[in-house]
Amino acid sequence: MANKGKATKKKNFRISVQGVDDVRADLKKLGYSVRQSRTKINKALRPAANKLVRAVQAAYKKEFNTFNRKRDGSRKPTWTTIGVITARKSKKPGLYVGPIKKRTTPIKVKGANSYNLAEMQILGNKQQAPRKDVFKETGKRMEQTIYLQAEKDLDKMINKLIKQAGF
């Protein structure tokens, strides 16, 4: 009875890049502050995150068959709301891929606005059964590709900063 009415917290899928702490230490040696190093690392990780975003958007389109749907011109297609979210409040660098609330056109569900349609379609509701989680599935499928891309971009960034420092 204590949990009635509250949403249970689900475990999100995560791809972690190893060696980010080493990169942060190298940036500290080069004289960058914690905030500057976090920004540099996030910039280096963004191409890998964008690669994952494109794959998730394609999987979402395929699963929910949104290719040939005629719709109201004022509404954005739901797959366009999937993007990269920067972890701003964290002291550690991080990027998240998922539905972005501010991009969504509000859709009425039972008289109230539903901002996160992509997640609602995957979790299901009273009118629709849950569908497969395209976010988790695509993340697992592309984990190695994203890891290699991020590692390559971090190495490239470190080498560039070392050359700029004159070492």
pLDDT score, position 2: 41
CA neighbor of 76 nearest in space, from 106, 111, 119, 53: 106
Give dist(CA 112, CA 96) in Å, integer.
27
Q: Summarize pLDDT for 81-102 with one digit per residue, the tens.
A: 889 988 888 878 888 888 887 7
- In the chain, which ranges are continuous DSSP H helix? 20-29, 34-64, 117-123, 134-165
Q: Summarize pLDDT for 124-159 with one digit per residue, the tens.
A: 777 778 888 888 899 899 999 999 999 899 889 888
